[in-house]
Amino acid sequence: MADRVIGLDHGADEQDENEHPGRGARIALGAAVVLVLVAVSAFAVAGLLVALSLLAVVAATVALLRVPAAPPPRHLRPAGPRVENAPFRSYRQVSEALSWASVSPRHYDLVTRPVLVQLLASRLADHHRVDLAADPEAARALVGEDLWHWLDPQREVARQGQPPGVDLETLTRIVDRLESL
């Protein structure tokens, strides 16, 4: 009996189970209930987060729909027909080169004059059988003293980069002379 009081009796556990039948089942049932409550709570919290997220998305959508649209741009012109001007590339290059003539004497000498000299060489070779590089004196006689200064391929490039460049009247006379050659 003393062993029983001290708890050395190994059969006591078996006796306790026999004295309280179903105790293990009650513990399992309690654990199952706790797990179910935890699962329901987790679902409720997650459901609450999902519901709040959906509410925030709906509120943001309504707010965006209430923002007025930007006014249409005023300066847009309807697009015109597409112009395919690849065949006129050389025309555009000449036109652009001529537009630099009035900027400054340096711009004329670096941009415009090389194009005009190239056109001059072509006209002289095609219509007068004169090679500009080989016979500049014959070219000078055909162009004329009044415009040779502007077309002379040997002339030094002007250092002045400030306006005015070649005036429109002089440029027109040069182009007219090239066309008449």
What confidence tens digit (pLDDT) does each residue in 59-117 have?
A: 777 777 777 888 877 776 777 777 676 667 788 888 888 889 999 999 999 999 999 99
Give me the pLDDT at residue 19, please.
Answer: 52
DSSP state at residue 130: -
Tokens of 134: 């080989």
In DSSP notation, 113-174 reads HHHHHHHHHHHHHHHH---TTT-HHHHHHHH-HHHHHHH-TTSPPP---SSP-S-HHHHHHH
Tokens of 90: 């050389």
Cβ atoms of 112 and 98 within 8 Å: the answer is yes
Give me the pLDDT at residue 54, please.
Answer: 65
Q: Residue 136's closest CA among 158, 149, 110?
A: 149
Percent of the chain as helix, strand, coil, to the nearest 5 = 70, 0, 30
Tokens of 64: 């965006």
Give me the pLDDT at residue 44, please.
Answer: 72
Residue ranges per structural domain of the chain: 2-66, 93-180
Phi, psi (rounded to 5 degrees) for 119: -65, -40
Tokens of 58: 């709906």
What is the rounded CA–CA span in Å between residue 101 and residue 166? Answer: 5
Give pLDDT tens digits for 126-181.
999 999 999 999 999 999 999 999 999 999 999 888 889 899 999 999 999 999 98
DSSP state at residue 33: H
Give me the pLDDT at residue 5, please.
Answer: 47
Tokens of 171: 């440029």
Alpha-carbon Rg for the chain, nearest whole angstrom, is 50
Q: Residue 96's closest CA among 80, 115, 82?
A: 115
